[in-house]
Chain A
Amino acid sequence: MREAPATAHGTEGKAGRLSDRLTLSTKRVLWAWLFLAVPVVFYGAIRFWPTAEAFWISFTDWNLLRPAQFVGLDNYRRLLADPLFWKVFANTFLYLILGTPVSLVLSFAIAYHLDRVRFLHGFLRALYFLPFLTTAVAMAWVWRYFFQPVPIGPINNLLASLGLPAQPFLRSTVQALPTILVPAVWAGMGFQIIIFLAGLRAIPTSYYEAARIDGLSERAILWRITLPLLKPTLVFLVVFASIGFLRIFDYVYNMNTNDPGGPLDSTKPLVIMIYQTAFKSYDIGYASAQTVVLFLILLVLSLLQLRLMRQPT
C-alpha cells in the first residue's frame, strides 16, 4: 500500500512510457476490450456461427457421408407434407397448453396460501421446493415406475386397493401424454412457487391495508390488487413455463426408452423428433429445418413477452 501514492503521482515523471501517454479513458477502453476478448470469441464461435450454420444446413440435403447439397426450401416443403411433423406439432402444443396453465394455477394457489402461513413456513416451502433440485432423468424413471401396471406400479396398486380399474397410463396412446406431463409439471412447480412468493412479498402491505379499510373482500383484493400487481411475475412465469414445455425432452425420452415418443408417436414432441432425425437417421438437413421451426416458435413467444411487458398495468 505504501507504493500506491507513488504510482498515482509518478505519472509526470515517467511520461516517456507508452502506457502513461495514453489518457485515462483510452486505458479503460483497452481494459474493457481486454476483458471482453475471450467472451467475444466464445459468443461468436459457439453461439452466432452455429446459429448461421443451422440455418444454412436447413437448406441442404446432408447425411454426413457425402457432401451437403443445397436444395433450397425442399426440407421445409417436406416438413409441411410430413404427417409425423403435424402430429409432433400438435403434441408439442398439447404439452404447452395443458402444462403451462395447470402448473401455474397450482403454483399460484399454493404460493398464495403459503405466503400467509407462519407456522412451519420454511418447512412447508422446502417440501414444495425439493422437486426443483432433482435430476429429470432420475425422476422420469421414478415416475415411470409409479405408472407401471400391477403388480409393480404403486399407482395402479393404489387404484386396485380402492376397487378402481387399472389404467394403462404410459402404454395408452390417449393417456401417455398427460401421464408424462405429471412429472414435468411436478418438477417445475417448486421454482414457480418460489418466484410467486417473491412476487407476492414485493407488493407493499400498505396496498392491502388501504383495500381493507375500503372494505374490499379477500376475493376482490386478490383480483383487483394482488393479480394486477403480480403481472410482471406472471408474464415471466408464463413465458418461462411455455418455453420449458415447448422444449420437453428428458421426461419423454426416459419414460419410454424402447420407443421415445411412443406409443405410436402419441407423446412425441418436436425436440424428440429433432433428436431422432439428426442422431438416429443422420438426416442433418431435415433435422436443421425442424430446429429452425422451433426457433421461430420461441421467437414469436419472446416477442409476445416483450409486448406484454411494455403494456402499462
Chain B
Amino acid sequence: MTALSKARPGQVVAWTLLFLGGVVMVTPILFMFSTSLKDSSQVFDLRLVPAEPTLDNYRTILEDGRFLRWFLNSLFIAVLATVSNVFFDGLVGYTLAKFRFPGRRLVFLAILSTLMIPTEMLVIPWYLMASRFGWLDSYWGIVFPGLMTAFGTFLMRQFFETVPDDFLEAARIDGLNEFTIWWKVAMPLVTPALSALAIFTFLGNWTAFIWPLIVSTRAEMFTLPVGLSSFSVEQSVAWEMIMTGAAIATLPTLLVFLVLQRFIVRGVMLAGLKG
C-alpha cells in the first residue's frame, strides 16, 4: 500500500491497466482448469469457480490409460532431447570457441547455415529416411531430428568465449585430458547458459507437434500434443474432457515455472539476447 499511495495517479492507472491485461492473458489458462473441474452438466455454466468442482474428468482420463502413456512418451522424448542437446551443443560450442584447428571456420559456417533451413523442408526427407530404416512409430524416430541444434550450439559458443583460457590452461598443467577439462572445468562455468538451453529444448520438444504427428501413426507412440489432438477429435463436443486433456498437457510446464520462475525468465533473456 505504501508503494501505491506514494505513486502518481498516472502510475496507478498504468499499473491497473497492466494488471487487467495480465488477467486477460491468463484467463484462457484459468478457464481451461475451471472447465476441467466441471461435469458435463455444468459446462454451460460459465462461472470461473465451478459450483460443484469434481475430479471425475481426470479420473476418467487416467483410467483410460492412453494419456498416461502419452505423458510418459513426451516426458521421455523431451528428457532425451534435452540431455543430448546439453551434451552435444555444449561440446560443439566449446570446441568452436576454444580450439584453433584447420576446418574450424568451415564447421562454424556449415552449422550456422542450417539455421536457414526450415524444419518443414526437412520433414519429407526425414519421413523417407525413417520409413527406410524402420524408425516410424519409435522413440528414436520422434527424437532423432532434434538431438542437436544450431541454435543451442551458438548459444553455448557465445558463453564459452567468455570463459578465460587461464582456467583451461591450469587444468592442462594439472594433467587433465581435454574431455575432462570440458566436462569438469568448462561446463560448470556456463551453468546459466546450460539451464537456458535445457529449458528451451525441453519446452520445444514437449510442445512439438508437426514432426511427431507425421512420424507416429500408432496411438501408443503418440506424444502428448498428438494424442491430445486425436483425443479431442474423438471427444467431439465433450468440452470438459477436452479441457481436462489440455490441462494435463499444460500442467507440468506451468508447475515447473511456478517453482523456477526467476530462473526461467533470466534464461529466456540470456538466450534471446545472445542467441
A interface list, Cβ under 8 A from B: 1, 3-8, 28-29, 31-33, 35-36, 38-40, 42-43, 46-51, 53-54, 57, 110, 113-114, 116-119, 122, 124-139, 141-143, 145-146, 148, 151-152, 154, 157, 183, 186, 189-191, 194-195, 197-199, 202, 236, 247, 249-250, 253-254, 257, 271, 274-275, 278-279, 284, 287-288, 291-292, 294-295, 298-299, 302
Within 8 A of A (CB), among B63-102: 88, 91-92, 94-95, 99-102
Q: Is B129 an interface residue (CB 8 A)?
A: yes
Residues of B near A5 (CB, < 8 A) are: 175
**Which listed residue (A36, A127, A257, A274) contacts B229, Cβ 8 A?**
A257
**Which listed residue (B25, B115, B237) contacts A128, Cβ 8 A?**
B25
**Which listed residue (A29, A142, A152) contacts B28, Cβ 8 A?**
A142
Q: A28-B99, A39-B148, A130-B25 are in contact. Are A141 and B209 (CB under 8 A)?
A: no
Across the interface, do A43 and B114 meet the contact criterion of CB distance under 8 Å?
A: yes
A19 to B176, CA, bound (A): 15
Residues of A near B246 (CB, < 8 A) are: 135, 137-139, 141-142
| Chain A residue with the shortest CB-CB distance to B74 | A135
The main secondary structure of chain A at its interface with chain B is helix
Across the interface, do B261 and A126 meet the contact criterion of CB distance under 8 Å?
A: yes
Across the interface, do A198 and B124 meet the contact criterion of CB distance under 8 Å?
A: no
A136 to B182, CA, bound (A): 37
Residues of B near A39 (CB, < 8 A) are: 88, 91-92, 111, 148
B195 CB to nearest A CB, Å: 15
Across the interface, do B261 and A122 meet the contact criterion of CB distance under 8 Å?
A: yes
9 additional A-B residue pairs with CB within 8 Å, beyond A4-B173, A48-B110, A271-B120: A39-B92, A51-B117, A137-B207, A152-B239, A249-B120, A253-B229, A291-B124, A294-B118, A295-B121
Which of A39, A51, A133, A275 is most buried by chain B, counting CB atoms within 10 A of its CB?
A: A133
Across the interface, do B214 and A279 meet the contact criterion of CB distance under 8 Å?
A: yes
Across the interface, do B254 and A133 meet the contact criterion of CB distance under 8 Å?
A: yes
A117 to B31, CA, bound (A): 27
Across the interface, do B23 and A127 meet the contact criterion of CB distance under 8 Å?
A: yes
Residues of A near B19 (CB, < 8 A) are: 124, 127
Across the interface, do B250 and A287 meet the contact criterion of CB distance under 8 Å?
A: no
Across the interface, do A119 and B229 meet the contact criterion of CB distance under 8 Å?
A: no
Q: Is B219 an interface residue (CB 8 A)?
A: no
Across the interface, do A32 and B22 meet the contact criterion of CB distance under 8 Å?
A: no
Q: Is B51 an interface residue (CB 8 A)?
A: no
**Which listed residue (A36, A50, A128, A135) contacts B21, Cβ 8 A?**
A128
Q: Is B49 an interface residue (CB 8 A)?
A: no
Residues of A near B104 (CB, < 8 A) are: 32
**Which 9 pairs of residues, A with B, have the shortest CB-CB distance?**
A127-B22, A50-B125, A138-B246, A7-B175, A137-B225, A198-B269, A291-B121, A32-B99, A31-B178
Q: Is B193 an interface residue (CB 8 A)?
A: no
Which of B35, B207, B237 is most buried by chain A, counting CB atoms within 10 A of its CB?
A: B207
Across the interface, do A298 and B116 meet the contact criterion of CB distance under 8 Å?
A: yes
A205 to B214, CA, bound (A): 50
B156 CB to nearest A CB, Å: 12
Q: A124-B22, A186-B28 are in contact. Are A133 and B203 (CB under 8 A)?
A: yes
A38 to B245, CA, bound (A): 39
Q: Is B134 an interface residue (CB 8 A)?
A: no
Q: A50-B126, A127-B26 are in contact. Are A194 and B114 (CB under 8 A)?
A: no
| Chain A residue with the shortest CB-CB distance to B1 | A119
B115 CB to nearest A CB, Å: 8
Across the interface, do B46 and A43 meet the contact criterion of CB distance under 8 Å?
A: no
Across the interface, do B265 and A129 meet the contact criterion of CB distance under 8 Å?
A: yes
| Chain B residue with the shortest CB-CB distance to A236 | B272
Residues of A near B55 (CB, < 8 A) are: none
Across the interface, do B14 and A113 meet the contact criterion of CB distance under 8 Å?
A: yes
Across the interface, do B273 and A47 meet the contact criterion of CB distance under 8 Å?
A: no
Q: Is B158 an interface residue (CB 8 A)?
A: no
Across the interface, do A146 and B31 meet the contact criterion of CB distance under 8 Å?
A: yes
